């Protein structure tokens, strides 16, 4: 199975609960998903409001860190 990459915006990680999602994914799901923190997605209005990530061309967002982690893993497992 090829691992998928969940990309997080550096500024979003610094300003929202995305950091806890990154930690959770790295701790509990490292065998299924690689986490990458990139410089910027150019989504500045969204960046300060909700945690989000991108898997390929799909943006996944949620105001709750636990729900976001679950949604990311659902997307990863769909292949």
| Model pTM score | 0.88
Domain ranges of the chain: 4-78
Which pLDDT belongs to residue 41?
A: 76
Sheet holding 33-38, edge to edge: 33-38, 4-9, 52-55, 58-61
Which pLDDT belongs to residue 12?
A: 92
Which pLDDT belongs to residue 47?
A: 72
Helices 65-78 and 18-28: crossing angle, nearest 10°? 50
Residues (pLDDT < 70) of the chain are: 1, 43-44
Which pLDDT belongs to residue 69?
A: 95
Tokens 């982690």 locate to: 69
> What CA–CA distances, in Å, run from 23 to 20, 26, 31, 42, 46?
5, 5, 14, 23, 21
Which pLDDT belongs to residue 1?
A: 60
Q: Which CATH number fits domain 4-78: 3.40.30, 3.90.1200, 1.10.3470, 1.10.287?
A: 3.40.30
């Amino acid at each position: 199975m090829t691992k998928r990459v969940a990309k997080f915006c550096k500024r979003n990680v610094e300003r929202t609960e995305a950091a806890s999602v990154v930690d959770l994914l790295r701790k509990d799901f490292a065998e299924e998903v690689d986490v990458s923190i990139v410089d910027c997605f150019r989504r500045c209005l969204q960046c300060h409001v909700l945690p989000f990530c991108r898997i390929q061309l799909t943006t996944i967002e949620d105001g709750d860190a636990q729900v976001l982690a679950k949604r990311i893993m659902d997307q990863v497992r769909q292949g």
